[in-house]
Structure 1
Amino acid sequence: MTNQDIATALRRLETVLARRPEMGMHPDVPALARWQGGTRVEVCHESGARLHTDLPVELGGSGEQVTPGWLLRAGLAACAVTRLAMSAAGAGIELAALEVEVASQSDLRGLLGLADGAGKPPSAGPQQLTLVLRLSAPGVPAERLRALAEDSQRLSPVSCALQEPVPIDLRIEVLGG
């Protein structure tokens, strides 16, 4: 798709949602994860796409697949790139380069439920995420690109999900057999 195609699609969607805002709320495609033995997992999308995860050797895995935590960082990076590309297209800016790097720092004691120096286990999630956006667009001032990048991240669904509390409705179904 060209920038013009993206901008046209976004304007069309904005027009529809202005007339019928209730159409904005929709169920997202679920992810179905199936245990494959050990620490290996297969995650399936309704399109038929499949991803595989495993843990590093030091955590009992084979180390041959990406980890679930890496998928979180990959999702954040991919969403940031996508949302920034959408913002650029909507603003009529032709990007020459765009990449996002996401790094994090975690405390393995949280994953294992081990107490820290204060006697409490740290969070099992990342303690810190760093999002680095690199972009260029010939003839566009750096200040405008920075503002575009900042604005796009305020509208990035994965970034928002990580920054704003999202309730998790935990349901447990025990299978027979």
Structure 2
Amino acid sequence: MIDQQSDMAAALARVRAVLQRRPASGLHEDAPATARWDGGCRVTARHANGTEIASDMPTELGGSGDLITPGWLFRASLASCATTSIVLTAASEGVVLTALEVRACSRSDSRGLLGMSEADGRPVPGGPSALRLQVRIAAPGVAPQRLRALVAQGLRCSPVPNAVQQATGLALQVDIDPA
């Protein structure tokens, strides 16, 4: 594990050196996620490399209930991205982790998904009303306050948590196929 963290730290140092010399080389288009409707509430999301993840809704909302939901994929993305950024931060700082687990939790109101409104007419939001990350981390000989600071730094650099915290805008383009 120490060798892996050393390798990561060396790789990150190389990338930082390049980006300091040529900041514009850090700008890039991210790999798109393409979702295809498979009937019912089933959707298959595909990465450009061919990886696919299928999702469905719970039976109460018309799905089969046998696959993960898109909301869970969102939380998985949030937790995975945060975990990766914390690991990279630890490697950069020479902290050897022995455990790291990030749990993304949320609270949602299904009325929002259905386009319903509150009694006063305000629309119920379709997304989660509360998000939280629970981090469990261990690194022998490292003070708790340093680990908390390391987690905070990792989250400041983490793309998915940043997209949520900064409320990244969403541009929409609709193309209509001829009938």
TM-score class normalised by the smaller sequence: over 0.9
- The whole-number CA distance in structure 1 between the counterparts of 2:20 and 2:132 is 35
Residue identity in the other structure for 1:85: V
Mapped partners of 1:103, 1:118: distance in 2: 28
Indicate which of 157, 172, 175 corresponds to 1:173.
Answer: 175
Aligned equivalent of 2:165: 163
Runs of 4 or more off by more than 4 Å in structure 1?
A: none
Are residue 106 (structure 1) and residue 108 (structure 2) matched? yes
The within-5 A match list for 1:51-130 is 51-130=53-132
Q: Describe the superposition over 1:88-110 as per-residue Cα deviations: whole angstroms up to 9, x where unpaired.
A: 00011110100001110011111
The one-letter code of the counterpart of 1:43 is: A
- Partner SS state of residue 109, structure 1: helix
Q: Deviations over 1:89-144 (max 9, x none)?
A: 00111101000011100111111111113211111000000100100001111111
Please state how far the C-alpha of 1:151 moved relative to its aligned partner: 1.2
Of residues 27, 33, 39, the one that matches 1:37 is: 39
Flag structure 1 segments of 5+ consecutive residues without an equivalent.
none
Deviations 1:44-71 (A, max 9, x none): 1111110000000000000011110100
Identify the range of structure 1 (77-86 vs 106-115) with the bigger mean alpha-carbon deviation. Answer: 106-115
Aligned length: 177
* Structure 2 gap segments, 5+ residues each: none
Equivalent-residue separation in structure 1 for 2:51 and 2:57 (angstroms) = 21
Q: What percentage of residue pairs aligned between the two structures are identical?
A: 47
Structure 2 counterpart SS, 1:2:
helix
Answer whether contact 1:109 1:121 (CA < 8 A) is retained. Answer: no
RMSD between superposed Cα atoms in Å: 0.9
CA distance in 2, matches of 1:92, 1:165: 32
User: When the two structures are superposed, what TM-score results if normalisation uses the length of structure 2?
Assistant: 0.96
TM-score (norm 1): 0.97
